[in-house]
Structure 1
Amino acid sequence: MSTPSHHFSDAEKRGLYRAIDERRDVRSQFLPDPIAPEILARVLKAAHHAPSVGFMQPWDFIVIESSEVRASIVAMFEQENQKAAERFEGERKERYQGLKLQGILESPINLCITCDRSRGGPHVLGRNSILETDLFSTCLAVQNLWLAARAEGIGVGWVSILDQAQLSSALSLPNHVYPVAYLCLGYVSEFLDKPELEAKGWRARLPLHELVHSDHWGQPLADSPLVTALHEQE
């Protein structure tokens, strides 16, 4: 049977799945090497080509190179990270405090991907039932950027331990613009074989076959070729 023209070649499919499998949340392996403008532009284009509900394209990209701005973000992180550490006790707290959870100063570029919650006007096609679809769409732009960056050999780290109101103030965001993702980008010395939190024993990857249900929540799949295939993917 001939292969339809819209199918990817085997090599192209391997590249796509490799980017997905080897994508990592990078904190510790950044190199100082600059990212060429044309490569950063390619990665941003990939983000801009993410799907969005009603084609609203709610994202904007703030490229942060200023050491002054970064220093203010690090201070925010340290404040919030201390609060987060207090949620744990004993060995778990010690392990948390031993984790490196940001590369704000080490990475050559910081990038904030925002969501303009007013974009497209008050009535966006497909958004009438779920208002948060603008935020969901922006997260898809983050993922597109992450996969494109991995294909370019660029590491990305998402700094989520930040107070969003303080971050918005530091970046002079209007009230209708929400900072979805504060990211660190740069070339890295290595991409770890496993996610860092998994490698350091914080959490393990859940078995895929336990997460696939049949028709209703909690109803397992009956014995079928899909069950076997799911086990083979783990």
Structure 2
Amino acid sequence: MELSEAIRRRRMVRNYDASRPVDPALVDKLLGYAVHAPSAGFSQGWEFLVLTTEEERAKFWAATTPPESGLTSWLEGMSRAPVIVVPHSHRDAYLDRYAEPDKGWTDRDEARWPVPYWHIDTGMASLLVLLGAVDEGLGACFFGIPPASDAAYREAFGVPAQYTPIGAITIGYRAPDAKSPSLKRGRRESQTVTHRGHWGASADL
């Protein structure tokens, strides 16, 4: 599939065909795409927790979507996904890398960073997983883990404190699902978000 087609076809899939497992080799292939993402200083401060068994997935949903969340219909479709990948960012990998001689930030001061690139780079790695899933004929959805569920998630899977889950990705074969109501907002055209030469200048693309 051409990259342009994968980009156009990518969407968040919220319902999966539970009868169709995903070949573990395909999951490995998607993670192979992820590690080709750019990262500041080639720090590569990302780690991925992969959950594929029924027990692992049930434990994930129990930890991250407590009953009082009110997400029953959403959870029904999402929990059918045979694979969950949780991308984690590792801030210290960046602070350590930039303390090396060729960078020289030996104070490891986080304030030197204009934005937290450890989160950004892990997000870009996640996008490669999403696009790779489309290319392989799979569906996928990136979604957040509620802050209130962070402790339960970490305890359930033994995630060290220095790693931050930036979200989670369900992966599987797509089943019919309703379009998100948010799509009624419409997609912003590139001309409306582009500024040429000066902020606010019209973009003649």
Q: TM-score normalised to the size of structure 2?
A: 0.79
Does residue 152 of the first structure (1) align with residue 139 of the second (2)?
Answer: no
| Aligned-partner Cα distance in 1 for 2:165–2:145 | 13
- Deviation, 1:65, is 2.3
Residue in structure 2 matching 1:179, options 165, 185, 193: 165
Q: Which runs of 4+ in 1 moved over 6 A?
A: none
Partner of 1:213: 195
The amino acid that maps onto 2:88 is: T
- Deviation, 1:31, is 4.0
Aligned Cα RMSD in Å? 2.9
Gap regions ≥5 residues in structure 2: none
Q: Deviations over 1:38-61 (max 9, x none)?
A: 222111100111111110111111
| Aligned-partner Cα distance in 2 for 1:78–1:152 | 32
Q: Deviations over 1:69-94 (max 9, x none)?
A: 43343233245744xxxxxxxxxxxx
Partner of 2:86: 112
Gap regions ≥5 residues in structure 1: 1-11, 83-96, 227-234
Count of residue pairs brought into register by the alignment? 192
- Deviation, 1:103, is 4.2
Q: Deviations over 1:150-201 (max 9, x none)?
A: 10011111232533333233221111100112111111246x8xx9325x75
| Aligned-partner Cα distance in 1 for 2:6–2:22 | 19
The 5-angstrom pairing of residues 10-21 of structure 1 reads 15-21=2-8
Q: TM-score normalised to the size of structure 1?
A: 0.70
The 5-angstrom pairing of residues 73-112 of structure 1 reads 73-75=60-62, 76-79=64-67, 81-82=69-70, 100=74, 103-112=77-86
The 5-angstrom pairing of residues 25-104 of structure 1 reads 25-75=12-62, 76-79=64-67, 81-82=69-70, 100=74, 103-104=77-78
Q: Percent identity over the alignment? A: 27
Quick check: which has more Rg, 1 or 2?
1
Q: Deviations over 1:9-28 (max 9, x none)?
A: xxx7xx10100010111112
| Aligned-partner Cα distance in 1 for 2:61–2:80 | 11
The amino acid that maps onto 1:209 is: Q
